[in-house]
Structure formats: structure tokens, C-alpha cells
Chain A
Amino acid sequence: MKAKRFPFITLSLAVAIIALSTIARAGPRIHIEAVTILASHDSSPRDRRLSGLINELESVFRYSSYRQISHDKMNLAIGDTGVVPLPGRRQLKITPIRVSGKRAELRVVIFKRGQQVFQTVIQLLNGGRMTVGGPKHKKGYLLFNISSSF
């Protein structure tokens, strides 16, 4: 009876060890959100979805209108790259590099017509958000608000 049980226990242990090592190697997953905003001097009404963010942006910028174009969410492992399509044949690529203390190191790259136009590496606070902006679009400017949590 004991002899029959032994291979089963060994197999279970091996599966458990492999599963645990896989989880350990996978590391933390980082939840990233990217909100694309068009800032302009239009007289369009306030975008309610951006109410909290607009207050922050208005403390720095003097645009009269902030309109949300898209809101993308992704859950990335270290080394994975999330792609966000942007207006004007642009792309935003975000890659978590590592987690250090309360910050996640992210590579943020913007492509335009397949060409890399902007690249930065930032250490973003857990639960923090930052904005990259400047590309012209229609009668305004694009802002990309990126937040991360892990």
C-alpha cells in the first residue's frame, strides 16, 4: 500500500514545486492605466470622466477644454509590453522593467508612423500617475496620463 502511495506523493510535490517556482519567477504584475486626453481651447463642456485629473492639469496648463479620447487598462508582468493605440497613427508602448520599493520602473515609448519619437524611463510611485504631453492633434494637444499600481 505504502509503495503505491509513494509515486503519487512525489509527483504532487514536484508539481507543487514547479508551480511555486513559476509563480516566484513571474514576479509582481503591474496594473497600468493610460488615459489619452485632447487638451484644446474649445468651448466644449467639461469631460466628467476627467474631473479629478482636470483640476491637476489646470494647475499647470491654461487650456479651456480637456476631453478624454480613450482609457486603456493593462495588467503586465515585468518585461511584458502593453501597446496603446493613439490618434494620428501613433502608438504608446509601456514596459515594466522592475519594481523597486514603492515605485515601478517603466519604459514609456511613443511611436509615430512606426518611428520612435519619444522614449523615457520613469520610476512611478505605486498608485501614482504622471502625464506625458505635447503631440499636436487636430486643434489641440495630446496628453497621456499614465498610472500604475502593483
Chain B
Amino acid sequence: MKRSKACDSMLLSRHMDGELSPAEYDWLMSHLAACPDCQEELRQNEALRTLYKSDLAEERSQVSFQGLERKVLKQVSQKRLSWWMRHKELFFSKKLLIPATAMAAMVLLFFSLIRQPLLPPDPSAIITSLSGDMTSVIVLETPKTRQTIIWFNEAS
């Protein structure tokens, strides 16, 4: 049995889903009245849908939604983070870490720019007394570590 060129399976499917415009619906009804192939196809589709709906209802009736809800809630509560983990995530999150690092770098830069040069340490040696057979004596201090130097010229 050949199907007419006017037969349109897509139109039938859309009809099943209730998506046809009034004009399409009128055309399909008039076509169905004259086309046994399309009548058969429609019947098969409706039978399939009925079967599917009844199976789904049966499956749904066997599912315990309360039990499922309990399982889901249990899993959610297990995934809840501890106090420490929440704070750790907060402090080490990129949202906070990047601005904090930038701020720290700016503070460091600021203080390194305005920092006063370190005061030199005490002189390494304090000279309490000095004597000898010398023509001259010079007491020096190295600029970096303030190391005391006594330079003397022997008399002869």
C-alpha cells in the first residue's frame, strides 16, 4: 500500500503534541478521513503513547520520593564544609588572595621607598688608652661596619 504524497508524518507528530495551527488541524482531519495509512500511523502512535504513559506511571508509583529526598539531604549535609574549611576557602580563594597580595605588595613597596637607611652599629672598638714609641697615630673607622682601625708610624 503506497502512501499518498500528501501524507505527512511530521504533521501527525505535531498533532500528537498539540502543536498544529487551526488551518493545519482542519487539513489533517480532512486528510485522515480519506487516508487509511495515516489513520493507522496515528493509531499506532497513540497506542505507543498510552503504553509509555502507563509504564511511567507504574515506575513512578514504585519510587519512594521521601526516601530519595532523605538520601539527597544526607548527601548535601555530608558535603557541608567544616568551620575551618569554610574559612580556609574564604581566605585562600582567588577573590581574596589576589587583592590581598596586591595590597601587601603595595605596602611593602611603600615602606621600602620611605624606609630610612639603617643606623650604623656601634663602633667595633672603643679606645680607652693609647701610647707607645710612635711618630703619629690615626684612628679610622670603616664606613660600612664601623670597624675601628688604629694606624701608627713606628718611631724608627
Question: Which residues of A come within 8 Å of B, CB atoms?
Answer: 55-57, 59-60, 103, 105, 110, 112, 115-125, 128-136
The residue from B126, B132, B140 contacting A118, defined by CB atoms under 8 A apart = B132
CB atoms of A129 and B147 under 8 A apart: yes
Chain B neighbourhood of A117, CB < 8 A: 132-134, 154-155
Q: Which residue of A lies closest to B140 (CB)?
A: A60
A-B contacts counted at CB < 8 A amount to 87
- Rounded to whole angstroms, the CA-CA distance of A15 and B148 in the bound complex is 45
Are B145 and A56 interface neighbours, CB within 8 A?
A: yes
Proximity string of chain B (112-154) to chain A, C-beta cutoff 8 Å, 1 when within and 0 when not: 0000000000101111111111100000101111011111111
Which bracket fits the contact residues of B?
20 to 34
* Chain A residues near B144 (CB-CB < 8 A): 55-56, 59
Q: Which residues in A have their C-beta under 8 angstroms from that of B129?
A: 119-121
A136: chain B residues within 8 A (beta carbon)? 154
Query: What's the nearest-Cβ distance from chain A to residue B141, in Å?
Result: 8
In the complex with contacts A103-B126, A122-B127, A134-B143 CB distance below 8 A: no
Known: A130-B148, A130-B149. A112 touches B126 (CB 8 A): no
CB distance from B25 to the nearest CB of A (A): 101
Verify B133–A56 contact, CB threshold 8 A: no
**B149 lies within 8 A of A133 (CB):** yes
A121 pairs with B128, CB closer than 8 A = yes
